[in-house]
Structure 1
Amino acid sequence: MHYTIVTESHEKGGFTARCVEIPKARGHGSTQGEAIARIKEEIEQVRQAQNAELHSIIASVHSEIIKIEVADSA
């Protein structure tokens, strides 16, 4: 997946990286590359938590995913 990252430099040094699609995800570092590496880790943690929550919801409601095929009408 692709995410939009905004980096900001600070007057006292260092960088902050923010993710537009996941506002709570932030990464800080002494260099821009470090801040980006940390935001990638944050995004991965958010995605893992979202996946775990989704699987928990699916399991709790005893739902089932079924694929069907529908014939074209002629």
Structure 2
Amino acid sequence: MQEVKLRETDDFIKLGQALKKAGLEESGADAKEDIQAGLVKVNGEVDTRRGRKLVDGDIVSYNGQEFKVVK
């Protein structure tokens, strides 16, 4: 499973930013569309909030791929 690392000074990353950082979305606009369309799951549940704060241990699923947020 791929990992998305938080910066040392951060306690969270927003869902849209995490999708881009993981390389699963090209732009914030693409991420916003797919999140609002219900295509993204956080910890097994659909989340339609682009600004959802992801913390250490959260698992995101999108388009058959998964990544874990790590500190």
Specify the TM-score bucket, using the shorter chain as the normaliser: under 0.3
Relative to its length, the structure with more strand (as a share) is: 2
Instruction: Considering fraction of residues, name the structure with more helix.
Output: 1
TM-score, scaled relative to structure 2: 0.26
TM-score using structure 1 length: 0.26
Whichever of the two has the greater Rg, that structure is 1
Q: Which has the higher contact order (CA 8 A, sep 6+)?
A: 2
